[in-house]
Structure 1
C-alpha cells in the first residue's frame, strides 16, 4: 500500500471550498493515479475521520503563452470528500 501522504497532495482553500465545509465536504489535490478507495483510506488514516463519499474530477491544465510559444500547465486531479454526519470535521481547516 502507498503512503497516504503521497496520495493526498494538498488541500484546496478557496471561497467555494470554504462554503462546502458547512456541509461536511472538503477538497484536496490528489495523485492522478489514485482511485476513490485509496483516497478514502488516506483521508481516514491522516485525519482520523469517517468518509461517506468521494467525488473525483480530472482537471485539465490551462494553456499559457510566453510570446509566440504556447505551453500548458500540468493537469491534476481534485477530490471532494464528504464526511459522515457523526464525524467531527478536519481540524486542519477549522482555523481558516
Structure 2
C-alpha cells in the first residue's frame, strides 16, 4: 500500500512549515497514523513527533506531520520543492 501520496502546497500549508515545523500531506484513506509516521521517517530521514489526520469531504485524507525538535521542516520542504 502506498501511504503517502503528495504534499500540499497551499499558502496555509507553507505557513505551517515555517511557524510550526509541520508538513501537510495527502495520504491513503486507509493509512494509520503509525504507517504514515513510519513511511515519512524512512523517506526523509527525520524524526516525527506527532501525526494528526483529517478526512475531507472530497474523500481525501490529509495528514499534518509534526517534525521533532532538532530537525527542520524547511529542509524537507526544500527536498519536496515546496519552498
TM, length-normalised to structure 1: 0.76
Q: Which residue of 1 aligns with 2:62?
A: 78
Q: Is residue 2:3 matched to residue 1:16?
A: no
Unaligned runs of 5+ in 1: 62-74
Structure-2 change in CA distance of 1:21 and 1:93 (3 Å): farther
C-alpha RMSD of matched pairs (Å): 1.4
Q: Which structure's residues are more often helix, by fraction?
A: 2
Q: Which structure's residues are more often strand, by fraction?
A: 1
TM, length-normalised to structure 2: 0.87
In our comparison, the structure showing a higher alpha carbon Rg is 1
How many residue pairs align between the two structures?
79
Trace 1:22-41 onto structure 2 (pairs within 5 A): 22=18, 23-41=20-38
Question: Which stretches of structure 1, 4 residues or more, deviate above 4 A after TM superposition?
Answer: none
Unaligned runs of 5+ in 2: none
- Superposition deviation, residue 87 in structure 1: 1.1
- 1:23-80 CA distance string (max 9 Å, x none): 210000000000000000010001110000000000112xxxxxxxxxxxxx110000
